Chains A and B, each alone.
Chain A
Amino acid sequence: MNNTILALIVSIILSGILGIIQIAYDSKIYNIKGYLTLAFFIYLLIMTIGNIFVTLITASIFENIDISDIGNSSLGKINTMLLQGPRWLWYSGIGVFGFQALIQKVNITIFDAGILAINEWIEKAKNSATASILERYADINIENIRRLANQLVDKFNIEEIHTLSSIHLGNDIYMEITDQAKKNSNLNLELYLANILADEVPKVIKAELKTKKNR
């Protein structure tokens, strides 16, 4: 396989990794399930196209240098340096990190209107991806709470739910919830408590359900 193709493959892999790191940092969501959104894939696509483009330019420049002509020039020295290691690694490295530098610096303006503000466009795509991931994660989160609460109500009796609530929510919060519930006769107190438990201490509830199942 030639250097350019290998460099493109590495660029695509690096684009995916960098895209996930950037969005994870921005959204503070570390559950990969939340990332399955169209906006996130569009963001990855934009980043990948940009990285491929700069990688191709890099490969094209260095593959076409004739060392005999420019042996002592700075470009010639860089080319000699590249010959020390696998060229594809250099091409993809320069391509991916070069594109990151382009994103920060390229901003062509005509009559005070930005026509090539790459940074702005990438930022828009990133914000859109982050917002869509947050929305999807909130959905997943609420669905998980509902499912866990229903399992809790199915597997545990009323006394057990009250005991678990008192232990894991703390007696003060438990008393506060039960007092509030007394004012609303239509409220299913056990289901309410199960929902609060599933939200506050999901890992503990999962462990309790597992223990109950194994008994």
Chain B
Amino acid sequence: MSINPILYKILADHDNVEVLQKILKSRILSKKQLENKISEIKNLNEVLKKLEDAGLIQKKKASINDLTRYFPTEKGLYLEKLMKNE
């Protein structure tokens, strides 16, 4: 598994990295929990979409949007290991 240029672009953004790190640390977070943890990020939906499109996180939709779960994918977990080794 390698880090492609698109991934580098995503990881260059501080907001993306912060949201990803929160999800990696807790493993599973609801949208509401994420909003509570990172209140300063205004475009959370956009950030989550970018991370999801990059294949770093996945979501499970709940009947209420606030309760939708976000968790890391295999690629996200691999990236976590790379970040720890740096």
Contact = CB atoms under 8 A, between A and B. Distances in A.
Nearest to B29: A138
Interface string A104-136: 000000000000000000011001101100110
Contacts of B64: 192, 195-196
Secondary structure at the A interface, as helix, strand, loop or mixed, is helix
A37 B12 CA distance: 34
Interface of B: 1, 26-28, 30, 32, 58, 60-64, 66-67, 69, 71-74, 76-78, 81
Contacts of B28: 29, 134, 137-138, 141
Contact of B63 (A29, A130, A134, A146): A146
B62 A145 contact: yes
A145 B32 CA distance: 14
A15 to B, nearest CB: 22
A127 B63 contact: no
Contacts, number: 60
B60 A131 contact: no
A138 B67 contact: no
A163 B46 CA distance: 36
Contact of B81 (A123, A139, A195): A123
Given A28-B27, A29-B27, A127-B74, A138 B69 contact: yes
Given A27-B27, A142-B62, A195-B64, A131 B69 contact: no
A134 B67 contact: no
A131 B67 contact: no
* Complex A-B, nearest 4 residue pairs according to Cβ-Cβ distance, in ascending order: A138-B69, A138-B60, A134-B71, A131-B74
Interface residues of A, number: 23
A208 interface: no
B77 to A, nearest CB: 4
Contact of A131 (B1, B30, B61, B73): B73
A137 B58 CA distance: 13
Most buried by A among B26, B61, B74, B81: B74
16 contacts: A27-B27, A28-B27, A124-B1, A128-B74, A131-B71, A134-B28, A134-B71, A135-B58, A135-B60, A138-B60, A138-B69, A141-B60, A142-B69, A195-B62, A199-B30, A199-B67
